[in-house]
Amino acid sequence: MPTTLIKNAAWLVAWSQGRHVYLRDADVAFEDDRIVHVGPAFPGSADVVIDASRQMVMPGLVNVHSHPTHEPAYRGIREEHGVANMYMTGLYERSAAFDTSALALRQASLEVALCELLKSGVTSVCDISPIFEGWEEIFGRAGMRGFLAPGYASARWRLRNDHELGFEWSEDGGRGRMDAALSFIDGLKPGGLLSGVVSPMQIENCTDDLLRDSYEAARERGIPFTLHVSQGVLEVHEMIRRHGRTPIQHAADIGIMGPGSVFGHAIFLDRHSWINWWTREDLGLLADSGCSVAHCPTPFARYGQILESFGAYVRAGINMAIGTDTTPHNMLEEIRKAGTFARIAARDVHDVSTGMLFHAATVGGAKAMMRDDLGRLATGCKADIVAVDLDHLEMQPARDPLRSLIFHAADRAVSDVWIEGRQVVGSGQVLGLDPASAGAALAAAQSDMMATAPSRDYRGRSADELVPLSLPMG
């Protein structure tokens, strides 16, 4: 097998004794898809030698919660859209009014998002999406490691007004869509870059039987189980109305919490200031179960909502991971926002650290996806590697290169990315996709999506009435 040597990295983020550490003037070597050396002075011979003397070399980022097949279509729509009577969230109104099911939209959206993900150092992403033609093929062209999570549910939201959540339940309780999702997962090639995640969509949109059976299906297959939980105030109110329990408590009651469970968001716990429920159980239930939380700060911050202490989750023993739930799919910006918002919410500069956040975006994500060979540079791990240009103006001075990357340069300084030893980004350019044509196709698909909004919105509003432009037309 050919050996590639990334030689003499000025800074190298290595995995040592259970944590990330900096090394100076160190090497990384890989054969085929596996790392064979991390540290000073690789003793062997190499077929390809890459000079990294002006680079920081780090593990690829692991993104555990993403919807790349529709979120880019919301550019210019989602950023400031919210409904005050729904506790500021625009999720339910937007999902009802805008149809993102067109094949052209999904394909273009995915290609645009994967370009953003790769350029921000992501080498693994959990894609929670409907099954559609071209899903696997686009991932293949990108060379991206995909944890594909075909979403399904027993119901969908149905709005009648701007202050309460309605539901349209399927006759079979979502069983047909669950069967299709499991069939898709079982059809993925074993050992390849694509693997499956069992993904009933939202806790309030699924019957308890569907949730329990989904969780068991994931356990039988030894793959992750992911679910949106405690992502909205209306959701919490609905679950308390049905069961007298918060969403986290109900998840515990029905037995769907465990080391393979990845809960999307888990922001609105019983202790959250927007909830102020009488119990104080949720944080402990999350920690004791061994499940992971997928933290995605951007969409909630746009509504004025926030996870009130990232550090408290970590100190409780919860495995925290990070995702890009919305557009842009820029993981480095998401890490930065997670830290900034955590300090604001906790009113404490020491609530989080860069090391804590980087751990969540790498090893925390790998643990959530049940993979101990991702998110770290160590012998035997997958060769998922990111090189950062230290000569980039926004990286200088690089006294602490991770801080320079996360707080300043972000994706602009990512120069090269390898996934399982295959280079997928070179000199800052995605090698396997065509971002320009994908962007044009996405613009056309968004126009088509907006045209159908009046027929879907409960008040018959146009897209421009739902989401006015940021400035009036002159």
pLDDT in tens, 375-423: 999 999 999 999 999 999 999 999 999 999 999 999 999 999 999 999 9
Burial code of 28-49, b = ≥16 C-beta within 10 A, e = fewer?
A: bbbbebebbbbeeebeeebeeb
Taking alpha carbons only, the member of 64, 118, 59, 45 closest to residue 378 is 59
Read off φ and ψ for residue 262, nearest 5 degrees: -120, 110
Pairing between strand 19-31 and 261-265?
unpaired
The H or E element spanning position 338 is helix 331-346
Gap between the Cα atoms of 121 and 126, Å rounded:
15
- The pLDDT score that the predictor gives to residue 345 is 96
Count CB neighbours of 418 within 10 A. Answer: 25
- The yes/no answer on whether domain 61-368 falls in CATH 3.20.20.140 is yes
Q: How far does CA 350 lie from the centroid of its chain?
A: 25
Burial class of residue 407, CB neighbours in 10 A (0-12, 13-18, 19+): middle
Residue 59 is predicted with a pLDDT of 98
Q: Model's pTM, two decimal places?
A: 0.97
Phi, psi of 164 (to 5 degrees): -140, 155
pLDDT the model gives residue 1: 80
**Any idea where the domains of the chain sit in the sequence?**
3-59+378-430, 61-368
How high is the mean pLDDT in each 10-residue block of the chain (474 residues)?
Answer: 96 97 98 97 96 98 98 97 97 96 98 98 98 98 98 97 96 96 96 97 98 98 98 98 98 98 98 97 98 97 96 97 96 98 96 97 98 98 98 97 98 98 97 97 98 97 97 94
Q: Which fold has domain 3-59+378-430?
A: Urease, subunit C; domain 1 (2.30.40)
pLDDT score of 242: 98
Report residue 471 CA to chain centroid gap: 31
